[in-house]
A and B are shown apart, each in its own frame.
Chain A
Amino acid sequence: MRFPPIALAFVVVLLSGGLLSFQNEKLVVFGTRGRAEAGLTTEGGVTYVNLGAVLLSEAEYSSKLVRNTLVYEIAGHRLEARGGAREVRGDRKIVRLGAPVLLRDDQAWVPLNNLVDVLHAGLNKAALLRAGRLLIGDAGDYISTDFRSGDPSTVTLQFRDPVNPVIDTTEGKLTLGFRSEPVVMNAAKVEYTDKTFERLEFSESAGSAQITFHGAVPLIAKFEDGNRRIVITAAPAAAAAALPSPTPSPAVSEPATEASIPAKTEPQITGPPDTARPGTRTALVAIDPAHGGNDAGVKFSDKLLEKNVSLAIAERLKAELNNRGVSTILLRSGDDDVNPDDRAEAANASHVSYYIAIHAGQLGSGVRIFTPLRPAASPSSSPLFVAWEQVQAGQSDRSNRFAGDVSSQLAEKKVPVRQLSGSAAPVAHVAAAALSIEVAPDRNDESSLESPAYIQKVAQAIASAVAQGKARP
């Protein structure tokens, strides 16, 4: 049978169109074996990445298709991706996906948004997904910049590995384009108060990175230390014209880091004493550092225990509240075993306005605020007496409003925050606006739970929320 040429052409166009639409973009991957490209495709509004191509940037792997499941064996690890499933199974973890796995051409395609988690489950390696680039493990070359004012001024870029950027210069602007190197800068913009340099900008797009210098004069780049160092300075003719700067004065607008957080940002007000003074106070806050004594709570490591973290945060919160003129009562001040009911009783006996239980926990990062779950009504509830387990029920609205205030303050300080319902002993027995606050590590770094800057940031947010609630009519 003859196939009409026009029909054949139609089929070819259809097929080529289909292929093009299936794999039309690339993700640039930097792994142990260097730079690789992995296909991207969009299906159902979801961007997918070819998992095998990403794995190849790390190590050679073997894969086999068992029924509808693609099994990858890579560097002693195993990864299973079942077509249509919304999860990928690693050695020890199951990664939940936002969209089902696609199996095409004996390759598994997973949602790009879940790729970092999949790699962690499959290779036990952290990865960083940036604009069109994936940096696996320690692949990223985080560069440092060193500005020196002078005649002429210089900015030195120090790289871990030799680089070979594409240099583009226009009047007053010099751009270094890094296509093959995993160059990363923490700052998106650095501004200078200088006769030579105005600012530096870092950007990423389409799998490459660019560093652009804006100068008041023409700029040049010099390569040193086997291309591991680039010194940017004024072009010779311009250097003579540039006036010397009187003082070294870089105004660096890098993103705030823990170290850059000022020790105190609030006015220093002498706080009231740490005791209840009925009749004279406007608010009394019970701060309950969870656990203590034999009850260590979460064991982050042999040395890092929840009971110590909760106490450190509680003590900081106490200071922040006192600074704002709020009286506090600390329900545990040492490494003591304190019964949960005794804690509730102490708070209730002091007629506190707010009760804040401080916890520290694993899973994720940031702060989780738990408002008490309203317990089931007791069948024998009496209008005259409130059952011990029902005392929190009448405080639900205040607790929720307080949780909202704390959430807002944390969000303002750029701390990831989540508000959930859930009761921890003894919060259900406290007759006040009550919250259980679980502080998780900052950016998944458990050592941050000992960081004074992180602790202070969280404590300040909670204290500000109390002050906000206190001021509310």
Chain B
Amino acid sequence: MIPRNVQIAGGLILLAVIGAAIYGLQLQRRDERNKRQAAAAPLSAENANQTRFNATVAFDDDGVLAHRELSAALPEEPSERTRMVLRTLLHYYTQTPSSHPLPAGSDVRAVYITPDGLCVVDLNATLADQHRSGMLIEQFTVMSMLETLAVNAPQVKRVKLLVDGKERASLAGHADLAGVYDIDQVHAAVKEYEHR
């Protein structure tokens, strides 16, 4: 015969376990809902402190670059502002589904803009090491970043891309990162990518 106090304690524990399970399920659903909403509305500018900006976005299936509006809270300082613009673009690509999937965790470590118009962008190793390989695929990433950067930081005339603070020959075996990109050349090249 189980004592009454043990029965009551057991019942309470059982209720607590059931309650915790229900609460856990609710938390999981809320988390999934939040993730879905975030993925579904990457282009929205609902928050008052967010600024809309123009981005050049790659669409793999169509094989084109196209203009889209993204939004983010952009700082005033030009280097930090440019870094946030690029981070938002990369974040857009890392969502699921994506028009041009990039590795999860892709990020911009730092951006420096010098008075003579040179912009140095330091990408993290995740972006380069786990990037899909291919001429067109890699050109899409580079052109998308460079054009988005240039449109939002018109003082920039040249761009040097680094990976983890170091020079690198290519992004993932193809797109050249060794040289310094001339923004006028990039503007002209991007037009070729806008149409098939």
Contact = CB atoms under 8 A, between A and B. Distances in A.
B143 to A, nearest CB: 7
Interface in A183-232: none
A376 B181 contact: yes
Interface in B42-69: 59-64, 66
B31 to A, nearest CB: 18
- Place the interface of chain A in its size category: 35 or more
Given A92-B97, A94-B98, A94-B99, A363 B63 contact: yes
A298 B170 CA distance: 14
A148 interface: no
A192 B134 CA distance: 46
A361 B97 contact: no
Given A89-B97, A421-B185, A363 B179 contact: no
Interface in A82-126: 87, 89-96, 117, 120-121
A117 B62 CA distance: 9
Interface string B91-119: 00000111100000000000000001000
A370 B66 CA distance: 19
A377 B189 CA distance: 17
Nearest to A368: B136
Given A90-B97, A368-B135, A363 B60 contact: yes
Interface residues of B, number: 42
Given A89-B97, A96-B66, A376-B180, A424 B133 contact: no
Contacts of B132: 298, 362
B82 to A, nearest CB: 17
A375 B186 contact: no
Nearest to B116: A379
Contacts of A281: none
Interface in A6-54: none
A424 B192 CA distance: 17
A423 interface: yes
Contacts of B60: 363
Contacts of B180: 375-376, 378, 389
B135 A436 contact: yes
B20 interface: no
A377 B182 contact: yes
A424 B170 contact: yes
Contacts of B157: 376
B66 A422 contact: no
A314 B113 CA distance: 42
Interface string B113-128: 0001000000000000
Interface string A351-374: 000000001011110001010011
Given A92-B96, A362-B137, A421-B192, A373 B185 contact: yes
A297 interface: yes
Contact of A96 (B61, B142, B169): B61
Interface in A331-365: 340, 359, 361-364
Contact of B59 (A94, A359, A361): A94
B36 to A, nearest CB: 10
A375 B181 contact: yes
A418 interface: yes
A96 B97 CA distance: 12
B43 to A, nearest CB: 9
B136 A428 contact: no
A419 interface: yes
Contact of A422 (B61, B158, B175, B182): B175
Contacts of B61: 93, 95-96, 117, 120-121
Contacts of A368: 135-136
Interface string B153-185: 000011000000000011001111011111001
Given A290-B174, A375-B179, A423-B175, 4 more contacts: A117-B61, A373-B176, A418-B196, A422-B142
11 contacts: A91-B97, A94-B99, A117-B62, A121-B61, A362-B134, A373-B176, A375-B180, A376-B179, A422-B142, A422-B189, A423-B179
